[in-house]
Amino acid sequence: MRGANRGRKFLYARAAALYLGHVALAVPLTEAARALGRDRASARRACAKLEELREAPAYDRALSGLESALVLFCAALPNVEARS
pTM of the model: 0.80
In a domain, 59, yes or no: yes
Write 33-38 long-range contacts (CB < 8 A, 24+): 38/14
In a domain, 82, yes or no: no
CA distances from 30 to 42, 74, 84 (A): 10, 20, 21
Q: Is 5 helix (H, G, I), strand (E, B) or coil?
A: helix
In a domain, 83, yes or no: no
Number of folded domains that form the chain = 1
Q: Determine the average pLDDT of the residues in 23-52.
A: 93
Residue 70: give the domain boundaries.
Answer: 5-76
In a domain, 38, yes or no: yes
In a domain, 22, yes or no: yes
Q: Determine the average pLDDT of the residues in 47-73.
A: 94
pLDDT at 1: 47
In a domain, 81, yes or no: no
pLDDT at 11: 86
